[in-house]
């Protein structure tokens, strides 16, 4: 099998799974129980949080464990909006966010919030001046993704943080799902207030995510019940998942520089191959783009057919982001960067990993030749 | 990297007479200990001034470490360039660009130590100010009362430029004046007392009383976590905790003395134990978080009666502070969130319905003669539990061997 869809999800690392299993077997106490078994689980939870904070410069943050990045983003966005509705109802995001953010903003819009959806340029990046101009007295939230999950574009997260630092009443939420473990993430340094991440994108388990919240920031809880997770996310905490997430984060961040350099080389190799075919248009920008993602459009070939044509050789990649690929309509992101309907509809996305080998890319190239011939 | 070194200024310890050198040496030792993890640092000791040469280490992380050192009045991030006008202008502009992001009033102050430099201090200030002004939209000159003073120091080996002075913790270097025993209950006040006593240069050991099963492992964890927050000020980043198993003695008091005197007598027992632990560990004072008038055992009459069991000095750093002030400090030193965890400690169990607010000394002695408390005290001391708590790594109830490679 050749898997080129690491942006959709990643295989679990053995070490991470081992931590999960050990914690599940040996430390199954409820961290909220008052007895020693409970305290031990609470200890593990504290250690997991501490390690995660250390890894992304987040000493002054709380970590809320969630069931997914989607849940984390919902909590961040709605938590801020519902908490601050009396102060203002203007919120800002971009046209190219992941559905978990974009559709949450859409929902809020239908409930009376005023949303500014920032346009992006042909590379998929917002213009910082546009953001500055759209800030108002009643703006309460800005949510911008770090790395675009479809095309890999890196947003000017630090620059935005710098601008928003002059507006202490505006909360700054960043979806770091595709950046974590791939690009440098330093929450305090980047002046981020809220950050969403996911375990299964960093060789951790599915069903596990987290929201980092700068201390002192008030959110309205979106799930009501017990007082777990600082009263922000009721429900018995899944300690094994939390421990596994902390471990996955450590392992991926430890090798971040090495992996980046390695994947950058694979990226160049793959780009070169793809650019040999006039049927393939590469959409991911070369500059300020995550090397882990190469997004393309097909001319004269349906992306679905294309993906299926590779299946028999057990080569897997995506048509578009897994979270929006069920519908056969143009990609919102590709439309936003100015592509026509055909190119926006026939989108394919390759995503790489430190697990990808150069040989796999060569095998892919051979299959690509055949497929293009066959589909002509 | 823009900044090349950090200039450290000492606090009131420079007012010391003959002992000044030993105060400064202790401060330097502490700085070096706190900065040990930054291997590339070099130090230059000028007696009145102390330079930390960064050699590429992250200045923010280094200043963070310096923020835990008592004895420092202030420190300034300093950039260095060659002593020629173009280089100075260029560096001044860079420093301003890095430091100043909002509208600010400023002036330039030049000190020409190297008199061979071809311009006067005033001339340099003028040229640098106008260069910086031209290039920064945020600056307004104000020579009388500026928010920021850009200091330019021209020396023969190079020119140093610095802007803001970061105010340090002040106080005296910890470890200068012997050791004390801090009675740490788990409440809000005693950690703050621990912060203040360290500020005066006193090293501390912690004394905690636990009464299982009335108190739980969680309240012990609380004590570890509180100690961890205070350990970062200790010279070796470590504070020792003495945990006294207090249940039997507390029960004996309950069984043998009138209920209204329970707390008074319990406190007297605690002082007796504290004195014994202190003497055994070369400590000469007892410190606690008592606050005049806060609870029944902290009325003046109570303090008098309770204090009567020992002649060892008892320092109460927060005695006269308002609760609001104490909470403010507790939040600053990050102990507040830990202190408000809702677990029972030995002072919240066996609490009488109507504690005596004006206890009498004679009565205390009379009630204490009802039982052989010395034997209980000896037992407490014999079964003392000793735990060393390191900054950054509070001990956990779960043992590290159990955790193995989980993380």
CB contact under 8 A, A39 and B402: no
Which chain B residues are Cβ-neighbours of A166 within 8 angstroms? Answer: 101-102
CA distance B406 to chain A (A): 5
| pLDDT tens-digit map of A11-44 | 999 999 999 999 999 999 999 998 889 999 999 9
Which chain A residues are Cβ-neighbours of B404 within 8 angstroms? Answer: 22
Which chain B residues are Cβ-neighbours of A247 within 8 angstroms? Answer: 406-407
| pLDDT tens-digit map of A75-103 | 999 999 999 999 999 999 999 999 999 99
CA distance B218 to chain A (A): 7
Closest partner CB to B397 (pick from A15, A43, A246): A43
Is 70 exceeded by the pLDDT of residue A183? yes
Q: What is the Cα–Cα distance from B87 to B94, expressed in whole angstroms? A: 11
pLDDT at A324: 58
Average model confidence (pLDDT) for chain A? 95
Closest partner CB to A44 (pick from B217, B221, B398): B398
Q: What is the Cα–Cα distance from A36 to A29, expressed in whole angstroms? A: 9
Average pLDDT of the segment spanning A191-203: 98
Q: What is the mean pLDDT of each run of 10 residues along chain B (407 residues)?
A: 86 77 88 92 83 90 91 90 92 85 84 90 92 84 84 90 88 89 95 97 96 89 95 94 96 94 94 97 96 85 94 96 96 94 79 87 95 96 96 84 87
Say if CB B210 and CB B310 are below 8 A apart.
Answer: no
State what percent of residues in chain A have pLDDT above 70: 98
> What interhelical angle do B189-199 and B217-231 show, nearest 10?
20
Q: Phi and psi (nearest 5°) for B259?
A: -55, -40
Flag whether the ipTM exceeds 0.85: no
| pLDDT tens-digit map of A358-368 | 999 999 999 99
Is 70 exceeded by the pLDDT of residue A326? no
- Closest residue, chain A, to B102 (C-alpha): A166
Which chain B residues are Cβ-neighbours of A26 within 8 angstroms? Answer: 402
Check if A44 contacts B (Cβ < 8 Å).
yes
| Whether the model pTM is above 0.90 | no
CA distance B217 to chain A (A): 7
Check if A186 contacts B (Cβ < 8 Å).
no
Which chain A residues are Cβ-neighbours of B221 within 8 angstroms? Answer: 39, 43
Query: Residue B46 has which token pair?
Result: 């000028």
- Closest residue, chain B, to A45 (C-alpha): B407
pLDDT at A95: 97
Q: DSSP string covering B246-315, please? A: -HHHHHHHHHHS-GGGHHHHHHHHHHHHHHHHHHHTT--EEE----TTSSGGGSHHHHHHHHTT--S-EE
Check if A27 contacts B (Cβ < 8 Å).
yes
Mutate to test the interface with B, among A42, A204, A227, A254 (most CBs of B within 10 A): A42
CB contact under 8 A, B407 and A247: yes
Q: What angle do CA A278, A280, A284 make, to 5 degrees?
A: 130
Closest partner CB to A51 (pick from B221, B402, B407): B407
CB contact under 8 A, B406 and A22: yes
pLDDT at B163: 83
- Closest residue, chain B, to A41 (C-alpha): B398
Q: Of chain A residues 245-284, which have a CB less than 8 A from chain B?
A: 246-247, 250
Size of interface A-B (CB pairs under 8 A): 46
Query: Residue B385 has which token pair?
Result: 């539990």
CB contact under 8 A, B403 and A162: no
A301-335 b/e (C-beta count within 10 Å ≥ 16 → b):
bebeebbebbeebebebbbbbeebbeeeebbbbbb
Q: What is the 3-state secondary structure (H, E, C) of chain A?
A: CEECECCCCCCCCHHHHHHHHHHHHHCCCCCCCCCHHHHHHHHHHHHHHHHHHHHCCCCCEEEEEECCHHHHHHHHHHHHHHHHCCCCCEEEEECCCCHHHHHHHHHHHHCCCEEEEECCCCCCCCCHHHHHHHCCCCEEEEEEECECCCCCEECCHHHHHHHHCCCCCCEEEEECCCCCCCCCCCCCCCCCCEEEEECCCCCCCCCCEEEEEECCCCCCCCCCCCCHHHHCCCCCCCHHHHHHHHHHHHHHHHCHHHHHHHHHHHHHHHHHHHCCCCCEEECCCCCCECCCEEEEEECCCCHHHHHHHHHCCCEECECCCCCCCCCCCCCHHHHHCCCCHHHHHCEEEEECCCCCCHHHHHHHHHHHHHHHHHHC
| pLDDT tens-digit map of B61-87 | 898 899 999 989 888 999 999 999 999
CB contact under 8 A, A22 and B407: no
Q: Phi and psi (nearest 5°) for B223?
A: -65, -40
C-alpha dihedral over A97, A102, A104, A110, to 10 degrees?
160
CA distance B398 to chain A (A): 5
Mutate to test the interface with A, among B97, B216, B403 (most CBs of A within 10 A): B403
Mutate to test the interface with B, among A33, A40, A189, A231 (most CBs of B within 10 A): A40
Please give the order of strands across the beta sheet that includes B148-155. Answer: B42-45, B49-53, B5-10, B72-81, B158-170, B148-155, B104-112, B139-141
Average pLDDT of the segment spanning A341-345: 92
Average pLDDT of the segment spanning A174-203: 98
Residues in B lying within 8 Å of A, measured between beta carbons: 101-102, 216-218, 221, 396-398, 402-407
Q: What is the Cα–Cα distance from A150 to A295, expressed in whole angstroms? A: 7
Is 70 exceeded by the pLDDT of residue A327? no
CA distance B9 to chain A (A): 27
Q: Which of A349, A149, A365 is nearest to A270 (CA)?
A: A365
Closest partner CB to B398 (pick from A43, A162, A250): A43
Check if A224 contacts B (Cβ < 8 Å).
no
Average pLDDT of the segment spanning A275-303: 95
Average pLDDT of the segment spanning A154-162: 96
- Closest residue, chain A, to B405 (C-alpha): A19
CA distance A5 to chain B (A): 27
pLDDT at B403: 86
Catalytic residue set of A: 323
Please give the order of strands across the beta sheet that includes A90-94. Answer: A61-66, A209-214, A194-198, A171-175, A139-145, A90-94, A114-118
pLDDT at A323: 59
Q: Cα–Cα distances in Å, from A370 out to A93, A273, A323, A363?
A: 42, 14, 29, 11
Closest partner CB to A246 (pick from B101, B221, B407): B407
pLDDT at B96: 85
CB contact under 8 A, B404 and A34: no
> A80: Cβ–Cβ under 8 A, 6 or more apart, which residues?
A140, A141, A171, A173, A194, A217, A219
pLDDT at A336: 95
Q: Cα–Cα distances in Å, from B376 out to B71, B76, B348, B363?
A: 42, 55, 21, 20
């Amino acid at each position: 099998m050749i898997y080129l869809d690491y942006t959709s999800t990643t295989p679990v690392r053995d070490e991470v799974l081992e931590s999960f299993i050990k914690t599940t077997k040996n430390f199954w106490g409820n961290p909220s129980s008052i007895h020693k078994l409970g305290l031990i689980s609470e200890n593990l939870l504290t250690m997991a949080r501490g390690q995660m904070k250390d890894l992304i410069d987040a000493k002054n943050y709380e970590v809320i464990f969630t069931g997914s990045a989607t849940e984390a983003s919902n909590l961040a966005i709605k938590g801020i909006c519902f908490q601050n509705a009396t102060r203002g109802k203007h919120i800002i995001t971009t046209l190219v966010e992941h559905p978990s953010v974009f559709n949450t903003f859409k929902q809020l819009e239908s409930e009376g919030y005023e949303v500014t959806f920032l346009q992006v340029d042909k590379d998929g990046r917002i213009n910082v001046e546009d953001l500055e101009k759209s800030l108002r007295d009643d703006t309460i939230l800005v949510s911008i993704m770090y790395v675009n999950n479809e095309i890999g574009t890196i947003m000017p997260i630090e620059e935005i943080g710098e601008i928003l630092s002059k507006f202490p009443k505006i909360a700054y939420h960043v979806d770091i799902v595709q950046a974590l473990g791939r690009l440098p993430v330093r929450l305090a340094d980047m002046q981020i207030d809220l950050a969403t991440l996911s375990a299964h994108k960093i060789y951790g388990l599915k069903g596990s995510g987290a929201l980092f919240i700068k201390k002192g920031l008030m959110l309205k809880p979106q799930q009501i019940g017990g007082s777990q997770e600082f009263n922000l996310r009721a429900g018995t905490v899944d300690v094994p998942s939390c421990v596994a997430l902390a471990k996955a984060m450590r392992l991926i961040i430890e090798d971040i520089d090495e992996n980046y350099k390695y994947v950058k080389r694979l990226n160049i190799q793959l780009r070169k191959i793809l650019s040999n075919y006039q049927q393939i248009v590469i959409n991911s920008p070369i500059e300020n783009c995550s090397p882990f993602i190469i997004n393309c459009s097909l001319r004269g070939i349906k992306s679905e057919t294309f993906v299926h044509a590779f299946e028999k050789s057990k080569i897997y990649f995506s048509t578009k982001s897994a979270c929006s690929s069920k519908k056969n309509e143009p990609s919102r992101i590709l439309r936003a960067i100015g592509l026509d309907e055909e190119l926006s509809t026939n989108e394919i996305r390759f995503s790489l990993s430190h697990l990808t080998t150069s040989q796999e890319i060569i095998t892919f190239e051979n299959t690509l030749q055949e497929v293009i011939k066959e589909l002509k | 990297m823009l900044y090349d070194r950090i200039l450290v200024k000492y606090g009131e310890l420079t007012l010391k007479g003959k002992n000044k050198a030993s105060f400064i040496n202790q401060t330097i030792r502490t700085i070096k200990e706190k900065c040990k993890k930054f291997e590339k640092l070099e130090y230059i000791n000028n007696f009145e001034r102390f330079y930390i040469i960064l050699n590429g280490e992250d200045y923010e992380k280094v200043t963070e470490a310096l923020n835990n050192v008592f004895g420092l009045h202030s420190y300034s991030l300093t950039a260095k360039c060659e002593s020629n006008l173009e280089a100075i202008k260029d560096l001044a502009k860079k420093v301003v660009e890095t430091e100043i992001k909002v509208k600010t009033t400023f002036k330039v102050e030049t000190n020409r130590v190297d008199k061979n430099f071809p311009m006067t201090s005033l001339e340099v200030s003028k040229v640098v100010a106008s260069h910086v002004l031209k290039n920064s939209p945020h600056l307004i000159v104000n020579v009388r009362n500026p928010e920021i003073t850009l200091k330019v120091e021209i020396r023969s080996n190079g020119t140093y430029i610095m802007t803001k002075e970061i105010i340090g913790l002040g106080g005296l270097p910890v470890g200068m004046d012997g050791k004390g025993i801090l009675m740490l209950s788990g409440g809000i006040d005693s950690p703050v007392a621990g912060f203040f006593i360290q500020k005066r240069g006193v090293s501390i050991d912690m004394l905690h009383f636990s009464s299982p099963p009335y108190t739980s492992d969680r309240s012990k964890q609380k004590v570890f976590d509180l100690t961890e927050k205070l350990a970062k000020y200790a010279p070796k980043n470590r504070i020792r905790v003495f945990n006294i198993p207090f249940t039997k003695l507390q029960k004996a008091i309950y069984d043998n003395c009138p209920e209204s005197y329970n707390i008074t007598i319990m406190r007297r027992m605690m002082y007796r134990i504290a004195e014994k632990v202190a003497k055994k560990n070369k400590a000469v004072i007892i410190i606690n978080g008592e606050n005049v008038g806060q609870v029944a055992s902290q009325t003046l009459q109570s303090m008098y009666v309770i204090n009567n069991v020992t002649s060892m000095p008892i320092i109460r750093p927060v005695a006269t502070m308002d609760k609001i002030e104490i909470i403010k400090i507790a939040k600053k030193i990050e102990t507040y969130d830990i202190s408000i965890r809702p677990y029972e400690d030995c002072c919240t169990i066996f609490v009488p319905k109507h504690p005596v607010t004006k206890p009498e000394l004679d009565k205390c002695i009379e009630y204490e003669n009802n039982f052989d408390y010395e034997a209980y005290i000896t037992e407490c001391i014999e079964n003392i539990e000793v735990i060393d708590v390191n900054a950054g790594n509070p001990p956990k109830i779960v043992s590290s061997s159990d955790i193995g490679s989980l993380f």
